[in-house]
Amino acid sequence: MQHFASDNYAGICPEALRAFLGANEGHAPAYGDDEWTRRVSERLRKLFATDCDVYFVFNGTAANSLALASLCQSYHSVICHELAHVATDECGGPEFFSNGSKLLPARGVGGKLTPDGVLEVIARRSDIHYPKPRVVTLTQATEVGTLYHPSEVAAIAELAHGKGLRVHMDGARFANAVASLGVSPADITWRAGVDVLCFGGTKMGLPMGEAVVFFDRRLSEDFAWRCKQAGQLASKMRFLAAPWLGILEDDAWLHHARHANAMAQRLAAGLASVPGAELLFPVEANGVFANLPAAVLDGLRVRGWRYYTFIGAGGARFMCAWDTRPESVDALLKDIRALSV
């Protein structure tokens, strides 16, 4: 049975697995001095069409926390959406690794920050008693499955840079965003003003690992030491790096992301004809958020389905992954329909 709780319930995609196994040959230098790490970094520079600085860490919490810490002093603050993973699901990691930089949540419809919302937080106070805003972080795709268009990223980044702030992007689902928007990775990141991107690998189909991509190389000074101190420097780095080679080859990452997005569309379309079902957010990536009657939600659990309910009462989140089968979506819909009568 496939589940819809999270895209990280899925296994490793074949392209990544092949590349992972392909790296298992003989001896290679450790700690990132290997051929695979060099090649993926080159490959990512090509993908982003710029001379960015790339690091690999084990997971997204570390990627975000360490990236934000590298942009802040302890007395600085980070403006994020109130639903942002960094604020709600990282157990204080960003604050811990930055030695206390405070997260300042801002509101915004559809899980998205706006220039006005960000400006409101910046302009609220400028006195010495307030943690000085230093970073804006955007999640792409957002925690509620919506997307920032390049012009929206650019508008926030322009405001941020004008006020002396840096722009960080949590791209745990960057692949789904790029696939859905149909933009180039460069256009939705550094060309729109993003300084640092945490490019998610795990939810995209890798066994584990995220890439931290610094578009402004001055910001990555000492980042390697930060990773090592945090226990995020893989000694057998080639196994963290190699799967990227597989998934970047022939745009496999985009094909998989497009598929996951299409499965979310299939689910959303099916829900449209279910009485009592109501979509909570536009379905723009691989997540579907819906209000369903409590009896339906309970019934689904009894039938073995796993999903999260974390927004309001009755709201359920269904995530689709690179391997979600149309039949799984249809089976879920069939149970929802059966429970809705």
Give 139 or 220: the residue with its C-beta nearer to ligand PLP.
139
Minimum distance, C-beta of residue 134 to ligand PLP, in the bound complex (Å): 20
Give 242 or 285: the residue with its C-beta nearer to ligand PLP.
285
- Applying CB under 6 A, which of residues 79, 172, 285, 336 lies at the interface with ligand PLP? 172
Strand 166-171 versus strand 132-139 pairing type = parallel
Minimum distance, C-beta of residue 293 to ligand PLP, in the bound complex (Å): 27
Task: Tell me phi and psi for residue 99, to 5 degrees.
Answer: 60, 30
Q: Can residue 85 be called a binding residue for ligand PLP (CB under 6 A)?
A: yes
Minimum distance, C-beta of residue 171 to ligand PLP, in the bound complex (Å): 8
Give 239 or 339: the residue with its C-beta nearer to ligand PLP.
239
> Which residue stretch of 58-66, 128-136, 276-284, 303-311 sits at the interface with ligand PLP (rule: CB under 6 A)?
58-66
Q: Can residue 139 be called a binding residue for ligand PLP (CB under 6 A)?
A: yes
Among positions 203-262, residues that touch ligand PLP (CB under 6 A) are 203
Give 85 or 134: the residue with its C-beta nearer to ligand PLP.
85
Minimum distance, C-beta of residue 213 to ligand PLP, in the bound complex (Å): 15
Minimum distance, C-beta of residue 27 to ligand PLP, in the bound complex (Å): 29
Give 83 or 296: the residue with its C-beta nearer to ligand PLP.
83
Q: Can residue 143 be called a binding residue for ligand PLP (CB under 6 A)?
A: yes
Q: Dihedral of CA 193/94/96/125: which sign?
A: positive
Give 257 or 333: the residue with its C-beta nearer to ligand PLP.
257
Q: Please write down the HEC assignment for all residues of the chain.
A: CCCCCCHHHCCCCHHHHHHHHHCCCCCCCCCCCCHHHHHHHHHHHHHCCCCCEEEEECCHHHHHHHHHHHHCCCCEEEEEECCCHHHHCCCCHHHHHCCCCEEEEECCHHHCCCHHHHHHHHHHCCCCCCCEEEEEEEECCCCCCCCCCHHHHHHHHHHHHHCCCEEEEEECCHHHHHHHHCCCCCCCCHHHCCCEEEEECCCCCCCCCEEEEECCHHHHCCHHHHHHHCCCCCCCCHHHHHHHHHHHHHHHHHHHHHHHHHHHHHHHHHHCCCCCCEECCCCCCCEEEEECCHHHHHHHHHCCCCCECCCCCCEEEEECCCCCCHHHHHHHHHHHHHHHC
Give 203 or 258: the residue with its C-beta nearer to ligand PLP.
203
Minimum distance, C-beta of residue 206 to ligand PLP, in the bound complex (Å): 11
Which residues have C-beta within 8 Å of that of residue 305, sequence separation ≥ 6?
3, 4, 332, 335
Using Cβ positions, the residue closest to ligand PLP within the complex turns out to be: 60
- Applying CB under 6 A, which of residues 202, 232, 286, 291 lies at the interface with ligand PLP? 202
The residues with which 102 forms a beta bridge, in sequence order, are: 77
> Which residue stretch of 30-38, 55-63, 108-116, 307-315 sits at the interface with ligand PLP (rule: CB under 6 A)?
55-63
Q: Can residue 59 be called a binding residue for ligand PLP (CB under 6 A)?
A: yes
- Applying CB under 6 A, which of residues 2, 37, 41, 61 lies at the interface with ligand PLP? 61
Q: Compute how many residues bind ligand PLP; rule: CB under 6 A.
A: 11
Give the residues lining the site for ligand PLP (CB under 6 A).
Answer: 59-61, 64, 85, 139, 143, 170, 172, 202-203
